[in-house]
Amino acid sequence: MPALTSRYRWVFLLCVFALIALRAWSAASVIVLGGANYRPGQIPPGWQVREHVGRAHATGCAGSEELCVHLVSDNSSFSMERRVDVNPRELPYLQWSWKVTQIPEAGDFRKGSRDDQAAQLLVAFSDRRVLSYIWDSNAPKGTMQSASTVPLVQVFAVVCESGQAEMNRWLTERRDFASDYERAFGRAAPHVKGLRLQINSQHTGGRAESYFSQVAFLSTPN
């Protein structure tokens, strides 16, 4: 009988370990911005600032709970970019936090002459297609349409937030980006090869300001 009890004990422990491993696998994630691996005032490791028009103002900052990045555009366009390699079949969800404190009031991604946004998160795929998640100034929340302006690159925009109603507070967004890709381009999403955080105000000649934090690819929507 003692041997039998010992056997059951081992079976129980193996089941516990299996459940722990299964839970860890089911909640897999790749964090690309966040944690405590950089200091306020610094650009996070792995990210590069690219100026498109005018001068960039991008710094690391301390948010309410996590480290963040702070972007300010004065009649300029710039981005923070990093390379990634993410399989959408394994990590089909994208989550991030952002806060907008000033929008380019006349901005509207649907009009080329006014294509300014306080905050964009762009997901670049291996087939030169891009999903752009936008905090737009005037396009209604939920708008989804093509936004291609660069030759040989197809961009599809999704307006996650719009206008001033939610300004000055941190918001967390979660997207099934694999499904968004399939809806936009009519095929399964290939590997993700890059991320871009962008801000611009050069078309309308104004100013924009935003913050990003806690950007991660997830296996489940939490």
Does position 214 have pLDDT exceeding 70, yes or no?
Answer: yes
Residue 64: how many other CB atoms lie within 10 Å: 10
Q: Would you place residue 5 in the very low, low, confident or very high pLDDT band (cuts 50, 70, 90)?
A: low
- Of the candidates 9, 8, 215, the one whose C-alpha atom is nearest the C-alpha of residue 94 is 215
| pLDDT value of position 36 | 61
Write the pLDDT tens digit of every residue in 33-83.
976 666 778 888 899 999 999 999 999 988 656 789 999 999 999 999 999
For the segment 101-113, the average pLDDT, to the nearest whole number, is 95
Q: What's the pLDDT at 35?
A: 67
User: Which letter, b or e, does each residue of 28-41 get, where b requires 16 or more Cβ atoms within 10 Å of its Cβ?
Assistant: eebebbbeeebeee
pLDDT in tens, 85-97: 999 999 999 999 9
User: Which residue bears the tokens 């994208």?
Assistant: 94
Of 129, 191, 174, 133, which Cα lies nearest the Cα of 154? 129
**Higher per-residue confidence, 37 vs 160:** 160
The pLDDT score that the predictor gives to residue 41 is: 81
2, 7, 56, 132, 202 from 52: Cα distances, Å: 73, 66, 9, 17, 10
Written as six digits, the tokens of 9 are: 């004990």
Fold of 29-218: Jelly Rolls (2.60.120)
What is the per-residue pLDDT across 130-158, written as a single tens digit (0 to 9) for each?
A: 999 999 999 999 999 999 766 778 999 99
The domain ranges of the chain are 29-218
Q: Is the pLDDT of residue 22 over 50?
A: no
Instruction: Give the C-alpha separation, 178 to 173, whole Å.
Output: 15
